[in-house]
Every structure is written in structure tokens, then in C-alpha cells.
Amino acid sequence: MLNTLAILFPVFALIFAGFIARKSGVLGENSARELSRFVVWLALPALLFEIMAKSDWQQMWQGDFIAVYTIGSFAVFFLVLVWRLWQKQNMADASVDGIAASYSNTGYIGFPLMLLIFGTASEVVTALASVIVVSLLFGFAVILIETTLHAKMAWHIRLWNVFKSVFKNPLVVAPIAGALFAATPFTLSAPFDNFLTLLAGAASPAALVSLGLFLADAWADKRRNGHEVRKTALSLTAVKLIVQPVLIAWLALVVFDMGVEMALMAIVLAALPTGTGPYMLAEFYRRDALITARTILLSTVLSVLSLSVLLHILGLNVSS
């Protein structure tokens, strides 16, 4: 268990550093938003582009992993969607809750944690998981929300709005551009490669500190302490930290019979806490973001325990 905590310590220590910096006033009220913009628009796209551009198509085409992670993520999304619709939520709000329970934080926590556990072999897999979460899952939620909120618009206008929303996202464009570059006979020039390496190196620490800043703001908002908000957020957190990794484990080990290391990567990625994407989605469409923010907060805090237990059970440590 001590080895497991050693893996998790640098990741959550950076999150805690951001939390303390915000709570102490060292960083101001706009720091979470601005640092997050740096990560989303510069550092993380550079990392995703670099990984994909330096990979060959055989490395990128991990058919079983893509199938397992996509099926598992969408299954959890639909499970929560149906549950929330049964509770009389409208489709737009139910979609936000669905993505909050299935959207793993592959970008902010996934890359640094997977690198510590599996080494550089995990980079392509984590990038693929990021694309599945940020483009397919996020895009589908956008389709449902757009369809609900703009039901009277012509279908082609709704489709165009969805297309714009998804492909304006740099986390979607960067890995696609990197994959297309990898298909060409060219290689990255040394100056541009060094530029990407420096920028990509800032992605993980900046992302984790940014998450800590966000969590400090969410913690301070007393409106998030209502009984129904806590109850729903706790339920979504349980689905995210327990149901999703168990489902992914079943798909990877039983249904698809994947290789052990690839299956372990899929399970750990599924066990990550909820990322900030669902909160951004709720804010963009002006939905009530209280449950989403609370889910991100709870799942991130509780994942210290859940990931420790999971990594201990799987027998994973830094030297694996």
C-alpha cells in the first residue's frame, strides 16, 4: 500500500498545492480559469499532438482498447441518463449528469499518473482515451443537449452547431492533426520538436495545479451543500469510481480478453475521477452546474482512496 501511495503522492500533492494557493490568496479568483485555458489551449494540445505525431499507425490502432473504453464509457453514460430521466430530469440536464459520471479526467490526472505507473508505453493509450472522452462522449452529450434546447431548429442547423462545438475544441483537433502528420513521410524539425517538448512538459503540472484551484473554488461555494445536490453527486461519484472501472474490467478481461497490461491501463483510466469537461459543458449551456461541480470535487477527493485500493489490488507500482 505504501508503494501505491508513493505513486499517487506527486499527483495529488500538485492538486493540493493549487488548492492551498487559492485558499491562501496567493493566486486570485481568476487563476483557475486562466491556468485551465493555458492547459486546454496550449500545453495539453501540444502533448497530444506530439504523442500522436511521433507514433506509427500500428501503435495508434489499439482496436480492443478503443472498443472496450468506448463501450464502457457510453454504457455508463446511458445508465445515468436513463436513471436521471426516470427521476423527471429533462434530457439536457440528464445528459450533463451522464457525462459527469462517465468522463474520466484523462487529461489532467491520467497522463501524469499513467506515466508514473506504466511509463511511456501508456502515452498513446492515454491519448486514445482522451480522444474518446473529449470527442466521442463529449460530442454525443452536445448532440443531446443541442437537440433538447433547440428542438425547433432545422436538423442541419443543430448538426452544424454540434460540429462547431466539437471541432472548435483544441483537445479534439490536436490529436487528429498529430495522427494525420504521422501518416506523412515527414518528421518534426528539431526546433519545432523542442518547442512542443517544452510546452507539453508544462501540461501535467499546470493541469494538476489548475484542478486544485478549481476544487478550492468549488469547496468555497456553500450553495453546493444542499441535501439533494450531495445525494445526487455522491451517487454519480460512486458510479464513476466503482461502476465504470468494474464494467471496463469485465469488458477487457472477459469479453475482449485483452492483454494484461493493456487491460490494466484501461481499468486505471476508467477509475480516474471526473474531469472538468462536464462542468464547462454545463456552464456553456447555462445548466445548473452545482451537481457537476460537487461530483468533480467528491470524485477527486475520494479517488485518493479508491485509486490506492485499486492499484494495490492490481499489484501496480512504479517499477511495474
Domain boundaries, the chain: 2-314
Residue with cell 468494474: 246
pLDDT per position as a tens digit, 140-155: 888 888 778 776 667 6
pTM assigned to the model: 0.80
In angstroms, the CA 135 to CA 117 distance is 25
In angstroms, the CA 148 to CA 195 distance is 43
pLDDT class for 222, splitting at 50, 70, 90?
low
pLDDT per position as a tens digit, 65-113: 999 999 999 999 999 999 999 998 889 899 999 999 999 988 778 888 8
| pLDDT, average across residues 200-223 | 78
Cell of 68: 472496450
Q: What is the largest CA-CA distance in the chain?
A: 58
Count other C-beta atoms under 10 Å from residue 187's C-beta: 11
3-state secondary structure of 274: strand
Whether domain 2-314 has CATH 1.20.210.10: the reply is: no
Burial degree of 152 (CB within 10 A; 0-12, 13-18, 19+): exposed
pLDDT class for 180, splitting at 50, 70, 90?
confident
CA 9 to chain centre: 19
Tally DSSP H helices, then E strands, for the chain.
18, 0
In angstroms, the CA 181 to CA 56 distance is 10
- Most confident range (mean pLDDT) of 136-140, 169-173, 214-218, 296-300 is 296-300
Residues with Cβ within 8 Å of 98's Cβ and at least 6 positions away in sequence, in order, are 76, 77, 78, 80, 81, 84, 141
Range in 39-48, 180-189, 283-292 with the lowest mean pLDDT: 283-292
pLDDT of residue 320: 44
Cell of 143: 448532440
In angstroms, the CA 176 to CA 178 distance is 5
In angstroms, the CA 259 to CA 114 distance is 17
Residues in the chain: 320
DSSP 26: S
pLDDT of residue 167: 73
